[in-house]
Homo-oligomer: A and B are copies of this chain.
Amino acid sequence: MTISRADCAALDEQDPLRDFRDEFVLPEGVVYLVGNSLGAPPKGAAARVARTVEREWGHDLVGGWNAAGWWEQPLRAGDRIAPLIGAGPGEVVAGNTTSIAIFQTVAAAVRLRPGRRVIVADLTDFPTDGYIVQNLAEVFGHEVRDIGDIGNIGNIGDTGALEALDQDVAVVLLSEVNYRTGARLDVGRVTAAAHAAGALMVWDLCHSAGAYQVDVSAADFAVGCTYKYLNGGPGAPAFLYVNPRHHGSARNVLSGWYAHAEPFAFEPGFRPADGVRRFGVSTPHVLSFAGLDAALDIWDRVDLAAVRAKSVALTSLFIELVESSGAPGLRLATPRDPAERGSQVSFHHADGYPVMRALIDRGVHGDFRAPDILRFGFAPLYLRYVDVFDAAATFAEVLHRGLWDAPRYRSRLTVT
């Protein structure tokens, strides 16, 4: 059975999420498959940010801290992110960056497991996670144990490594969805394996939050960014989840005045705030929070089950169209079973970099990750089935006709 563009247009007609596309700014002539790196801007972002600059800051000046509620942004945004990750109110605080949140949560976890000296991580995962724990371990006198490339096909269902965790392990840090392959770990199974070994579990949700309904309720801590599927803007605040069972005991090594029980008492001695507020750090980045606010105005209305259903449909369609085209040189890097992937499809190609540049030149925007990965992210809120059809057709044409094999695509620039 061949899928036609008309079939895809019919699917778009029936898509329960179709109206959300109108709420995003998308450049003409581009199929934007990089929403897993930086989400497209909500149309409301410009006005929301302008309001903060012109009315809140411009009119209220320092009074904006109260009048516009700037001080409460980290907890207010946290409460809006919470339902997207299976958390409750008062369990998530937003701010700073994912790397900083990893530092805070892993440091808190090792302090809750005194005597255990090992931090388990996948060092082939997005590097900042590994860098943060390597530097933290060096200072704290801990050891980082590399669990291996758990996000690779073949390893994805294998929790054997986790079952072998021993009594030295204080904490396990893993990404739910792998940034290269899109492979998705089973949060429930992995968390249970960590707990069975007496360790705590920290999840990095950068590539899962906003892609489907995450459930961190069994985990101890979680972190993630808001600028990928959540569309909060470049460098938007990260988020940090603490399971309520740790609210009384977990300590935040990065406790600035936001984390104090009474920040405006200006007391000389530190006393931690109750609840997740103690994992705040200091003054929020107000303009960046304004961008995130605009995105959460959309997410407040989204049915995550519909997002997941469409994500599975889009990614499955892309795989099927690309593979059935017989385009040469490709090997799927993403698990074929939808249950084992996020909202991303990656292919290996020996000349991945020039291939991606040729695609971008033709309006299909994905990205490249060394050594040979072509990544395509599928944001269900603004992508159509016809976009997937067009992207796959262009991809097939570029490969069949060898259009990527030109000097202008082979010259290497910085890739972000």
| A interface residue numbers (CB < 8 A to B) | 25, 27, 32, 34, 37-38, 40-41, 45-46, 49-50, 52-54, 56-59, 61-62, 64-66, 70-71, 96-100, 102-103, 107, 111, 123-124, 126-128, 130-132, 134-136, 139-140, 146, 225, 227, 233-237, 251-257, 259-260, 263-270, 281-291, 365, 367, 369-370, 413-416
- Contact between B100 and A96, CB atoms less than 8 A apart: yes
Q: B253, A99: Cβ atoms under 8 Å?
A: no
Pairs across A and B, CB under 8 Å, 12 listed: A32-B61, A38-B57, A38-B61, A38-B65, A40-B61, A45-B57, A46-B53, A52-B234, A66-B414, A70-B234, A99-B257, A135-B255
- Pair B128/A97 contact, Cβ less than 8 Å: no
Q: Contact check: which of B41, B251, B257, B415 meets A127 at CB < 8 Å? A: B257
A335 CB → nearest B CB, Å: 21
Smallest beta-carbon distance A194→chain B, Å: 21
Question: Given the interface contacts A100-B281, A128-B256, A281-B100, does A234 sit within 8 Å of B57 by beta carbon?
Answer: yes
Sorted nearest first, the 7 A-B pairs with minimum C-beta distance are A99-B256, A99-B282, A234-B286, A123-B268, A65-B416, A128-B257, A38-B62
Are A253 and B135 neighbours in the complex by a CB distance under 8 Å?
yes
Task: Pick from B53, B126, B264: contact of A416, CB below 8 A.
Answer: B264
Q: How far is the CB of A204 from chain B (nearest CB, A)?
A: 12
Q: State whether A131 touches B38 (Cβ < 8 A).
A: no
- A253–B139 CB distance below 8 A: yes
In whole angstroms, what is the CA distance A265 to B414 when docked?
Answer: 10
Chain B residues with CB under 8 A of A269: 123, 130, 134
Q: Which residues of B contact A268 (CB under 8 A)?
A: 123-124, 127, 130, 146
Taking a contact as CB atoms under 8 Å apart, the answer to whether A287 and B253 are in contact is no
A65-B234, A140-B139, A286-B234 given; A265·B27 CB < 8 A: no
Does the CB pair A235–B284 fall under 8 Å? Answer: yes
Task: Tell whether, in the assembled complex, residue B281 and residue A97 are in contact, meaning their CB atoms are under 8 Å apart.
Answer: yes
- Contact of A287 with B282 in the complex, beta carbons under 8 Å: no
Closest partner residue, chain B, to A24 (CB atom) = B58
A416 with B46, Cβ < 8 A, contacts A97-B283, A365-B61 known? no
Interface core residue of A96, A111, A127, A264 (most chain B CB under 10 Å): A127
Contact A254 B100 (CB under 8 A): yes
Residues of B near A259 (CB, < 8 A) are 131
Give the chain B neighbours of A266 by CB distance below 8 A: 126-127, 369-370
- A285 — which chain B residues lie within 8 A by C-beta? 97, 235-237, 285, 287-288
**Taking CB as reference atom, which chain B residue is nearest A294?**
B53
Output the least CB separation between A348 and chain B (Å). 15
